[in-house]
Amino acid sequence: MSRPDNPLAAQMHPLKNFEPEHFRWEVDASGQCARIVLDRPERKNPLTFESYAELRDLFQGLTRATDIRVVILSGAGGNFCSGGDVHEIIGPLVTMSMPDLLRFTRLTGELVLAMRRAPQPIIAAVDGVCAGAGAMLALASDFRLATPQAKTAFLFTRVGLAGCDMGACTLLPRLIGQGRAAELLYTGRSMSAEEGLAWGYFNRLVAPESLESEALGLAESLASGPTFAHAMTKNMLHQEWSMTLEQALEAEAQAQAICMQTEDFRRAYHAFAAKRAPRFEGN
């Protein structure tokens, strides 16, 4: 029996034929830009126990999907995500035992961690309602584009829970500041799109009819860039939160030395010397 040219090929493309049950998964013609669409528009795209687990598994699988370079996360029907489904999640939680409750809360955290560990940049395209767990999905993404109609709320205290859900007390203060995060997490009030832009939660606001094309344009721009270097940048942005300056400088020195060994770096140098645009291939 002949050996395959690349014995790791099967592990490198685990999502080629992925068909989720609880949301839409689309890959463009290039095979590089993928879209996750939360698709329960009649309920403003809430999450269920099953969709939490399937999203976690998908983002965990993306660590091995070297063909996919960028992921866009959006919702159908003019809304992003209304959070956990009131009837399919909130209701059952009231009757669960402590071990089952802990299994669920750990599952939601595993989803956020999988998003942060996925090497691909994740672009959240936010329109309309972006609440509770939906706000956390947007927060765990790397970029957030929104329409002026976007309303973001961390609703946990509104149902008698702490604001520290799915990493909110870690992620949100780092993005918008401690005082602003405290206001949103204590009160559960909606943050307008304009506030989100001014506070740094959103990268930019776009017209509703342009949201999809703007997200796709950003995705294509990132996909054409040095994807290995992008993955390294994302990894260091995540890891350096818990480092001292000395540790961060050493970690960045090692990361940059690794990137200097890539073919993308060599190609970029030769393109610069020849006064032409570089072509990145992610290796």
pLDDT of 89 reads 86
CA distances (Å), 175 to each of 9, 161, 169, 191, in order?
A: 37, 22, 11, 14
pLDDT, tens digit (0-9, with 9 covering 90-100), for 78-110: 999 999 888 888 889 889 999 999 999 999 999
pLDDT of 269 reads 86
- Residues 229, 232: Cα–Cα separation, whole Å: 5
Residues of the chain below pLDDT 70: 1-14, 16
DSSP 66: T
pLDDT of 128 reads 97
Specify the CATH number of the domain 9-223: 3.90.226.10
- Residues 34, 28: Cα–Cα separation, whole Å: 6
Chain centre distance of CA 19? 19
pLDDT of 2 reads 42
pLDDT of 7 reads 53
Name the phi and psi angles at 205, rounded to 5: -105, 140
pLDDT of 277 reads 87
- Residues 191, 271: Cα–Cα separation, whole Å: 45
Whether 127 contacts 150, CB under 8 Å:
yes
pLDDT of 4 reads 47
143-146 and 204-205 as β-strands: parallel, antiparallel, unpaired? Answer: parallel
229-250 burial: b if 16+ Cβ within 10 Å, else e: bbbbbbebeeeeeeeeeeeeee
pLDDT of 91 reads 85
